[in-house]
Amino acid sequence: MKYAIVIEKGDTSYGAYVPDLPGCVAAAETRDEVVKLIGEAIQFHLEGFKEDGSPLPPPLSEADYIEVAAA
């Protein structure tokens, strides 16, 4: 399965979350580290669904960029 993640850069750290897995978040000092941690968080989240006997949420979100002229 391939889930979209959102990475946000803060003043001193990075945060990441998964739109299709509410509550699945990670934070770290570097972008590489937050990508690693959100991958682990996704695995942990999916294991919880399996243990509960719940169906895995399908990855429905997409991400893209759009270019706009700066004002």
Q: Can you tell me whether residue 34 is helix, strand or coil?
A: helix
pLDDT digits (tens, 9 = 90+) for 27-68: 999 999 999 999 999 999 999 999 999 999 999 999 999 999
Rounded to whole angstroms, how far apart are CA atoms 2 and 41?
14
Domain containing 25: what range?
1-71
Which CATH number do you get for residue 17? 3.30.160.250
- Residue 71 has a pLDDT of 78
Look at the chain and report how many structural domains it folds into: 1
Please state the pTM of the whole predicted model. 0.89
- Residue 54 has a pLDDT of 94
With beta carbons less than 8 A apart as the criterion, state whether 13 and 27 touch.
yes
Phi-psi region of 53 (alpha: psi -120 to 50; beta: other; left: phi over 0): left
Confidence of residue 10 (pLDDT cuts 50, 70, 90): very high
